[in-house]
């Protein structure tokens, strides 16, 4: 159990600068997700923490210990790989025993720890099976058990749910999170699935092209994205371009091609911006902010109707309405949304 500090990590691959000033302080027992599109550097960062990739500049610390030049096998971590990487020639029990044998844990204690962890992942009767006899979900849980049984300082997971069916993925998310909270282990979780990160994490680190775009609690990331990339990557968003004209009660007054908008935002913004509004905050009547336009598409989705609206300036807004509303293409609509739910992002 320890804190994890990434102190201005930089990594070059030849002349490619693939990690730029990655700076992160993770608290004891915290669950943070590294989230981003492929190629953003999240897996590379994880592998640097594990020691499988070297860093060109910066330091990695587990608590007070500087781990930057320490070999992976001496970092005392537990890692779950995307392919699970179970040892095919060993039974489940032997897989779990491996790390304990390396640490010279006596046989009796090994047995009891293995039994306990297998109970935790609900695979008690499977200790004598080989990985090839297990389903994908079961293999995943064995991989988790193997990483936890050694009681490491840090737990690293590299997109562990990517190869599972959708329904199993949902169950496993909660399972992993519950387990992590019970054990209280500092955890770094890599994923490209934003809903996964939202559900599981204490904090989310959104990465893009080797840089951290934003680091914060799920609510902060969702309601107050720091950049356009974060806004677009997490959930659905509508962003309307405009210019800051002045201050207002909620925060800023922004001039857009479709009229003035009041929105909240961080201090010190000016010039070209975008106003973000999430579909769920839009009503079918005028409000503090009002936009009018025409429906271009109305798509029945069962629980609601997806509405695509075109504004006079040509910009598009997406929102959803109750399925009872009978709106079709060509109908005029009025969209209203509160100022404090509108958020200004630097363009």
Partner 1 sequence: MSSVAAQIPRAISGPKHRAPVWWMILPALVLLVGFLILPYVSIVIMSFREASTRAVYGEGFTIAHYRDIVTDPFIWGIVWRTIRMALIVTVATLLLGYPVAYHLARTRSRMSSLLYICVISPLLVGLVVRTFAWMIILSNNGIANGALTGLGLVDRPVQLLNTQLGVTIALIHVFLPFVILPLLGNLQAINPEVALASRSLGASRMRTFFKVTLPLSMPGIQAGSILVFVLSISAYVTPAMLGGTQGRTMAVLVVQYLVDNFRWPAGAALAIFMALTTLAIVVVYLALTARAMRRLP
Partner 2 sequence: MNMGRTLWDYAFLGIVTLIYIFLMSPILLVVLMSLSGGEFLAFPPQGISLRWFGELFSNARFLSAALHSVQLAAVSAVVNGVIGTLAAIYVVRFAPQKLANGLRLLMSAPLLVPEILTAIALLFFFFEFGVGNDYPIAIQTGHIVVTFPYVFLNVASALFNFDRSQEEAARSLGAGNWMTFRRVTLPAIKPGVITGCLFAFVISFDIFNISLLLKPVGMTTLPLELFDYLRFNFDPTAAAVATLSIVVTFVAVLIVDLTVGLRSLRF
Closer to partner 2 by CB, 60 or 307: give it: 60
Burial of 129 (0-12, 13-18, 19+ CB in 10 A): middle
Closer to partner 1 by CB, 87 or 174: give it: 87
Measured in residues, the chain has a length of 347
- To 10 degrees, the CA torsion angle through 288, 289, 293, 294? -60
Residue from the set 25, 65, 103, 122 that interacts with partner 1 by CB under 8 A: 103
Q: Binding string to partner 2 for residues 139 to 178, with x set by CB under 8 A, is what?
A: ----------------------------------------
Based on the shown chain and the rule CB under 8 A, indicate whether residue 83 belongs to the binding site for partner 2.
Answer: no
Based on the shown chain and the rule CB under 8 A, indicate whether residue 36 belongs to the binding site for partner 2.
Answer: no
Can you read off the two tokens belonging to residue 35? 């989230």
Give the SS3 label for residue 122. Answer: coil
Nearest 5°: the CA angle 250, 238, 337 is 40
Based on the shown chain and the rule CB under 8 A, indicate whether residue 219 belongs to the binding site for partner 1.
Answer: no
Cβ-contact 158, 50 below 8 angstroms? no
Distance CA 139, CA 133 (A): 9
- Antiparallel, parallel or unpaired: β 77-80 and 154-158: parallel
Sheet holding 259-263, edge to edge: 259-263, 252-256, 238-247, 272-277, 343-346
Residue from the set 28, 56, 69, 296 that interacts with partner 2 by CB under 8 A: 69
Closer to partner 2 by CB, 77 or 261: give it: 77
Based on the shown chain and the rule CB under 8 A, indicate whether residue 53 belongs to the binding site for partner 2.
Answer: yes
Based on the shown chain and the rule CB under 8 A, indicate whether residue 12 belongs to the binding site for partner 1.
Answer: no
- Dihedral-angle region of residue 209 (phi above 0 means left; psi in -120 to 50 means alpha; beta otherwise): left
Based on the shown chain and the rule CB under 8 A, indicate whether residue 13 belongs to the binding site for partner 2.
Answer: no
Q: Which does 87 bind (CB under 5 to 8 A by kind): partner 1, partner 2, none?
A: partner 1
Residue from the set 1, 8, 102, 135 that interacts with partner 1 by CB under 8 A: 102
Residue from the set 34, 60, 150, 273 that interacts with partner 1 by CB under 8 A: 150
Based on the shown chain and the rule CB under 8 A, indicate whether residue 323 belongs to the binding site for partner 1.
Answer: no
Closer to partner 2 by CB, 53 or 151: give it: 53
Distance CA 188, CA 4 (A): 9
Closest to 86 (Cα-Cα) out of 124, 41, 137? 137
Based on the shown chain and the rule CB under 8 A, indicate whether residue 14 belongs to the binding site for partner 1.
Answer: no
Please choose, out of 15-23, 50-58, 182-190, 290-298, the segment that lies near partner 2 by the rule CB under 8 A: 50-58
Distance CA 304, CA 13 (A): 48
Can you read off the two tokens belonging to residue 116? 């306990």
Q: Which does 53 bind (CB under 5 to 8 A by kind): partner 1, partner 2, none?
A: partner 2
Closer to partner 1 by CB, 69 or 270: give it: 69
- Dihedral-angle region of residue 302 (phi above 0 means left; psi in -120 to 50 means alpha; beta otherwise): left
Residues 6+ apart with CB under 8 A from 249: 262, 339
Closer to partner 1 by CB, 130 or 325: give it: 130
Based on the shown chain and the rule CB under 8 A, indicate whether residue 282 belongs to the binding site for partner 1.
Answer: no
Per DSSP, 130 falls in state -
Please choose, out of 114-122, 141-149, 232-240, 332-340, the segment that lies near partner 1 by the rule CB under 8 A: 141-149
Q: Which does 219 bind (CB under 5 to 8 A by kind): partner 1, partner 2, none?
A: none
Within 70-89, which residues bind partner 1 (CB under 8 A)? 71-74, 76-79, 81-83, 85-89
Which positions touch partner 1 (CB under 8 A)?
50, 52, 71-74, 76-79, 81-83, 85-90, 98-99, 102-103, 130, 132, 143, 146-147, 150, 156
Which positions touch partner 2 (CB under 8 A)?
51-54, 69, 71-72
């Amino acid at each position: 159990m320890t804190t994890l500090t990434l102190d201005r990590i930089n990594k070059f691959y030849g002349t490619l600068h693939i990690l730029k000033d990655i700076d992160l302080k993770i608290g004891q027992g915290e669950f943070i997700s590294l989230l981003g599109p492929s190629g953003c550097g999240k897996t590379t960062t994880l592998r640097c923490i594990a020691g499988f990739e070297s860093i060109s500049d910066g330091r990695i610390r587990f608590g007070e210990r500087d781990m930057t030049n320490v070999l992976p096998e001496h970092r005392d971590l537990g890692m779950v790989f995307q392919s699970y990487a179970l040892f095919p020639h060993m039974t489940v029990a032997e897989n779990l025993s491996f790390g304990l044998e390396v640490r010279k844990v006596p046989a009796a204690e090994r047995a009891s720890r293995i039994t306990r962890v297998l109970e935790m992942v609900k695979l008690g009767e499977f200790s004598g099976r080989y990985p090839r006899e297990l389903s994908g979900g079961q293999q995943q849980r064995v991989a988790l058990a193997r990483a936890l049984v050694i009681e490491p300082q840090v737990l690293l997971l590299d997109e562990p749910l990517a190869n599972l069916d959708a329904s199993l993925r949902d169950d496993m998310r909660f399972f992993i999170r519950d387990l992590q909270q019970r054990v209280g282990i500092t955890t770094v979780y890599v994923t490209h699935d934003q809903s996964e990160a939202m559900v599981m994490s204490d904090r989310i680190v959104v990465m893009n092209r080797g840089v951290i775009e934003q680091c914060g609690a799920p609510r902060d990331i969702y309601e107050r994205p720091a950049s356009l990339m974060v806004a677009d990557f997490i959930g659905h968003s509508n962003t309307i371009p405009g210019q800051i004209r002045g201050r207002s009660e909620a925060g800023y007054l922004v001039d857009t091609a479709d009229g003035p908008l009041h929105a909240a935002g961080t201090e010190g913004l000016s010039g070209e911006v975008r106003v973000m509004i999430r579909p769920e905050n839009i009503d079918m009547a005028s409000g503090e902010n009002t936009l009018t336009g025409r429906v271009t598409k109305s798509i029945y989705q069962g629980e609601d109707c997806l509405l695509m609206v075109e504004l006079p300036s040509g910009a598009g807004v997406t929102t959803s309405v109750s399925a009872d509303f009978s709106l079709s293409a060509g109908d005029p609509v009025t969209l209203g949304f509160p100022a404090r739910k509108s958020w200004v992002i630097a363009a």
